[in-house]
Amino acid sequence: MASHWVLNHFHEVLNRHRAGYLVLLDPEQCEVATCARLACDVEQAGADAILLGGSFLTTALHPIAETLKNATRLPIVLFPGDSMHLTAHADAILYMSLISGRNPNYLIGEQVKAAPWIQRYALEPIPTGYLLIEGGNRTAVEFVSGTMPIPRNKPDIAGPHALAAQYLGMKLVYLEAGSGAKHAVSDAMIAAVKAYINIPLIVGGGIRTPVLAEKKVNAGADFIVTGNVLEENGSFELMKQFADAVHG
Ligand code: 1GP
């Protein structure tokens, strides 16, 4: 029987706090040597899990994941760009389908290639409907997936996508403006999508301040993801401010 401890952990976080805080580490930006210290800081600052991954990977994932795993008790959750971005040194994987796009490779192709490895590595797959939302600039995920994002002012299109994810049995919905997005997903978009679903809603991309993170929670986000901002000027203090702003 497959374990669901990471998904259960996410639900427990939502029982304790009004929303959860996930820190994304991109292996391309994270030296193995600094990973252990970073993981300790992320945990101490009060984040709820570490996401590990990115759209495009040229760095070996195993040593970074292993270092993180040994350094923290937080769940390490893979956030893969494709089926090659897998390692046994993680707890779970966002088993995503890029449902905002119409590229069969990212709807089901990479998932089929990854499935036997997820089983072999005993990773917990967390089925996740992944929606790319226009963020004001072209992002890596848009380029790599070869898909068009949903226009940022069209919540009426995003909502039914999220509902379809829920009806297909997915456990999370992720609204993604793309790493380094100029504009985070709008409050109106978050609120409209949230009104359609009763599974947790993750929001990420372009969230650069704790105040903005709190605004997204107030709009209806259940989990906030930050990546770039901590890579650019990450300090323990800033991480803590994000965690506190999100937890409320
Ligand atoms: C990207 O949602 C994440 O996949 C985080 O984006 O790097 O812009 O914080 P940022």
Report which ligand 1 atom has the smallest distance to the Cα of 26. 7
- The answer to whether residue 1 scores a pLDDT higher than 80 is no
State mean pLDDT over 199-211: 98
If you average pLDDT over residues 142-168, what whole number do you get?
97
For 124, phi and psi rounded to 5 degrees? -85, 115
Report the 3 state secondary structure along the chain: CCCCHHHHHHHHHHHHCCCEEEEEECCCCCCHHHHHHHHHHHHHHCCCEEEECCCCCCCCHHHHHHHHHHHCCCCEEECCCCCCCCCCCCCEEEEEEECCCCCHHHHHHHHHHHHHHHHHCCCEEEEEEEEEECCCCCCHHHHHHCCCCECCCCHHHHHHHHHHHHHCCCCEEEEECCCCCCCCCCHHHHHHHHHHCCCCEEEECCCCCHHHHHHHHHHCCCEEEECHHHHHHCCHHHHHHHHHHHHC
Most distant CA atoms of the chain, gap in Å: 45
Q: At what angle do helices 187-196 and 155-167 cross, to 10 degrees?
A: 30
Cα 132 to middle of ligand 1, angstroms: 11
Integer Cα distance of 210 and 219 in angstroms:
14
The correct answer on CATH 3.20.20.390 for the domain covering 5-247 is yes
Whether ligand 1 lies within 6 angstroms of the CB of 94 is answered as no
* CA 233 to centroid of ligand 1, rounded, Å: 14
- 181 near 136, Cβ under 8 Å? yes
pLDDT the model gives residue 30: 84
The pLDDT value recorded for residue 2 is: 65
Domain residues of the chain, as ranges? 5-247
User: Locate tokens 């995920």: which residue?
Assistant: 141
Cα-trace Rg, the chain: 16
Question: What number is the average pLDDT over the span 184-196?
Answer: 98
Q: Cα dihedral angle (218, 222, 227, 230), rounded to 10 degrees?
A: 60
Q: Is the pLDDT of residue 29 over 80?
A: yes
Contact 180 CB / ligand 1 (< 6 Å): yes
Q: Which of 29, 228, 238 to mutate to test the pocket of ligand 1 (most atoms within 8 A of CB)?
A: 228
Identify the pLDDT of residue 156.
97
Quick one: average pLDDT of 119-142? Answer: 97
Residue 81, ligand 1, Cβ within 6 A: no
Is the predicted pLDDT of residue 72 greater than 60, yes or no? yes
pLDDT at residue 234 in the model: 72
pLDDT at 232 (0 to 100): 77
| CA 231 to ligand 1: nearest atom | 7
194 with 174: CB under 8 angstroms? no
Mean pLDDT of all residues in 173-202: 98
